[in-house]
Every structure is written in structure tokens, then in C-alpha cells.
């Protein structure tokens, strides 16, 4: 499969606006979606199906900041190794957060859970801004600072998922 940016006809950049990604995606699906092949030959249906799948896959990657950053690094030949360790400072920070969270959870203190989630959300936004700056500063490189920023975003997203699951559980008990 070609890289997700060129599949969508977009520049390989971190700084893509959601609306321009959506636009490119919809313009392609207007041509490639299986509904467009309803009256076509089986041959064309198969081809169209494959392309529609590819565009959906590319869209999923490019539309999400973390996946987009990872794809960009891979494209530049600096994929973040799965063995790469998070910085000790980040690990420490997340561990403290996790402790605070489990205490709040045990105490049924939903206010604190919400406050932590709010904090992590704004940090997530900051991490994206930072990534955008790093990518702009080093257009060719995949220096360790970029990789570390990607790993930080990865941790924040995962933590946010857990937080939101807790918020949801709490909300589902009327």
C-alpha cells in the first residue's frame, strides 16, 4: 500500500486541518465507494472495493494525530521502534497520575476523575502543538525529540481512553 497521505492526495504533513482531510476523503469516496459500482462489472466492483478499503484505511490514519505522526515518521524512514522506551520523567508522571486516579476511583470521587481527564485533554492538545512545531523545525529528520513526543502522545491517549471509560461507567449507574 502506498503511504496514506498520497492515497488521499494530501501533502505529507502533520499540519492538516480536519476539514481538509474530510474533504479529500469524501471526494475520493464519491468515486470509489461500492455504491458507485452497483451497476458495474464484477471486475470493476472488485477493483473499486480494494481502492475504497485503502482510502478508508488511509483516512483512519491521517485523521488521528497520533497515527498521522507515526505514519509521517515511517514515511521519512524514522519509524518509532516498538522497543523504544518512554523517558523516565514521562513514566514517573504517568505513574503518579495513575495512583491519584485509582485513589479517586476507590473513593468514588468522580469530581477528581473529571479534573484529571480535563488536565490530560489539555496536555494532549499541547503535545499535538509541540509535535507540529518539531515537525516544522526538522522537516527531514526523525530525531529522538520527535520520537519522544510521539511516545508521550501515545501514553496520553491510552490514559485518556481509560479515564473516559471510567467516566462512562460512572454515568451508566443512574
Partner 1 sequence: MSLLQIHDPAASPRPIGIDLGTTNSLVAYVGAMGEPVVVRDCDGEALVPSVVHYAGDRVTVVGARARDLALEHPRDTLVSVKRFMGRGADDPETRTLGPYRFASATGPVVRFEVGEGRVVTPVEVSAEILRDLRERAEDELGRVGGAVITVPAYFDDAQRQATRDAARLAGIEVLRLLNEPTAAALAYGLEHRKNGRFLVFDLGGGTFDVTLLDLDDGVFQVRATGGDSQLGGDDFDRAIASRLLEHLGHREAPSAPPSAVRYALEAARSIKHALTDHDLVETTLDHGGQSVLLRVTRAEFDAWTAPLVARTQVACRKVLRDATCSAADVEGIILVGGATRIPSVRRAVASLFGREPLADIDPDLVVAMGASLQADILAGQGPRQDVLLLDVLPLSLGIEAMGGVVERILPRNTAIPAEAAQVFTTYAENQTGFEIHVVQGERELAADCRSLARFTLRGIPPMPAGLPRLEVRFAVDADGLLRVSASERTTGMSQDVEVKPTYGLDDAAIEQMLLDAYEHGERDVVARALSEQRIEAERVLAATDKALAEDADLLAPDERSRIDAAMAGLRTACGGDAHRRIVARIEDLDAATREFAGRRMDRAIRRALTGQSLASVETDTARAAGLDAHMPPSMREDD
Judge contact between 163 and 117, C-beta under 8 A. yes
Q: What is the largest CA-CA distance in the chain?
A: 62
* Site mask for partner 1 (CB under 8 A), range 42-61, x = bound: xxx--xxx-xxx--xx-xx-
Q: Which C-beta is closer to partner 1: that of 140 or that of 168? A: 168
- Binder of partner 1 out of 11, 26, 92, 145 (CB under 8 A): 26
Round to whole Å and give the CA distance between 116 and 124.
12
Question: Helices (H) and strands (E) in the chain — how many of each?
Answer: 7, 0
Taking the complex as a whole, the smallest distance from the CB of residue 92 to partner 1 amounts, in Å, to 28
Burial 78-89 (b: 16+ CB within 10 A, else e): bebeeeeeeeee
By CB under 8 A, the residues from 154 to 173 that bind partner 1 are 164, 168, 171-172
User: Per rule CB under 8 A, is residue 2 in the interface with partner 1?
Assistant: no
- Binder of partner 1 out of 3, 12, 33, 154 (CB under 8 A): 33
User: Per rule CB under 8 A, is residue 174 in the interface with partner 1?
Assistant: yes
Query: What cell numbers appear for 73 in the block?
Result: 515518521
Q: Which stretch binds partner 1 (CB under 8 A): 35-43, 93-101, 104-112, 142-150?
A: 35-43
Residue 53: how many other CB atoms lie within 10 Å: 13
User: Per rule CB under 8 A, is residue 95 in the interface with partner 1?
Assistant: no
Amino acid at each position: 500500500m502506498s503511504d496514506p497521505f498520497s492515497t488521499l492526495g494530501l501533502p505529507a504533513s502533520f499540519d492538516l486541518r480536519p476539514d481538509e482531510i474530510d474533504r479529500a476523503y469524501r471526494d475520493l469516496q464519491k468515486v470509489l465507494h461500492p455504491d458507485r459500482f452497483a451497476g458495474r462489472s464484477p471486475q470493476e466492483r472488485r477493483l473499486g472495493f480494494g481502492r475504497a478499503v485503502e482510502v478508508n484505511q488511509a483516512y483512519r490514519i491521517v485523521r488521528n494525530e497520533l497515527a498521522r505522526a507515526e505514519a509521517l515518521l515511517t514515511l521519512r524512514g524514522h519509524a518509532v521502534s516498538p522497543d523504544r522506551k518512554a523517558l523516565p520523567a514521562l513514566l514517573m508522571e504517568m505513574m503518579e497520575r495513575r495512583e491519584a486516579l485509582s485513589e479517586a476511583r476507590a473513593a468514588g470521587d468522580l469530581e477528581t476523575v473529571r479534573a484529571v481527564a480535563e488536565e490530560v485533554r489539555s496536555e494532549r492538545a499541547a503535545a499535538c502543538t509541540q509535535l507540529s512545531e518539531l515537525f516544522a523545525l526538522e522537516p527531514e529528520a526523525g530525531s529522538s525529540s520527535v520520537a519522544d513526543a510521539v511516545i508521550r502522545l501515545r501514553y496520553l491517549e491510552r490514559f485518556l481512553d481509560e479515564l473516559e471509560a471510567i467516566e462512562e461507567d460512572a454515568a451508566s449507574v443512574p
